[in-house]
Structure 1
């Protein structure tokens, strides 16, 4: 499946890969006759979403303009996401969202706003702050919520502005370390190798997700005539890899 918020109302649409493949190959007339997508409920104003798999269960968590919605995948004969939980009238408008399963038992929604990061206990509906950067007096840009591997879904790295802080889902600082990017990233992503990438205007930084230490940098060098070369430099090596 492929996902995309579309249209003026920002509804979340789910595309079937068989239909997308046939749009390219045109080798199955029967598939071409079918509608290749479906919308998730009647939700409008989708800001961000995440698909989270836990054992054999697949959840879809969505950040809307003033609420967070949680859907669960229903297998055949339904074969679609169905509404599971809804948390409306949030004090802080969600800008990005994720879902974690604490110690294999408790579901918690984690979301970022322009003031910091917050959690929602899915069972009780209780909403509380897990990290507010009090040293920043203006609104912040939230980049990423990263659930740390091998931590039972409890420990997080939350990235905002040009920093990242290690906290748990109860709002306690877990490491006396602040990840500091070399420049303000436009986006941050976890790349499944115990590393995170931060895209800046001048370079792409790769850092350890556990320590925040810089592992390497991608950067480009523009040559005369307009051609460019991309380099990857790793710490502790004197040579550069180039493309």
Structure 2
């Protein structure tokens, strides 16, 4: 591995010798405070920590991708950016739900050890519309990006306020219901809008074994979140229409038209 000074290293994702990889390039660019680059089968953190990119397990089922993904698996399902051609997701099409927990804990901390709370910040949430404040992490610039989301949302028509105020939650040290996987809320990097207008796949009964997609969140709201690096749970087959989480690497790849 070639040794580079921290400032210089920020300009490189692929640390020679290695082959460039658009997905990994986007990942490193999205989290520059933590990620330095990648080499061979290692994702390299700025403190020298290395995590394996590929665990060597082939042909994973959808359940295995959710429960035991490696870093490359996170890009198995491309995120469809924008709302102009919004469609019902295909069976098990859940872009962004595949998350390597070791990578997320390394970047955001382990809430079970009190590591996430130390980085939390109160962010004004649509203050002109009575939204108060919400607590999110400062890691990876999440708090700053959510503040931008809030400012842009305040420019939307007043009748949309009901979908956004009150928020149904941000930081919550918990696992995803029915699993042992930490929720993105456990990292302080997600927000749920008003659950009164939200739809969640676990609340619905499938018809003939297939979930019927539902959504009541105005798409103008979705566009604002995506503009600032947040993906929308409404684009999942296992939909969570009032959930948004910070995943700038997936947004960046979508803007590049990846995979080509």
For normalisation by structure 1, the TM-score amounts to 0.24
Task: Work out which structure has the larger RCO, using CA pairs closer than 8 Å and 6 or more positions apart in sequence.
Answer: 2
Structure with more helix by fraction: 2
For normalisation by structure 2, the TM-score amounts to 0.23
Structure with more strand by fraction: 1
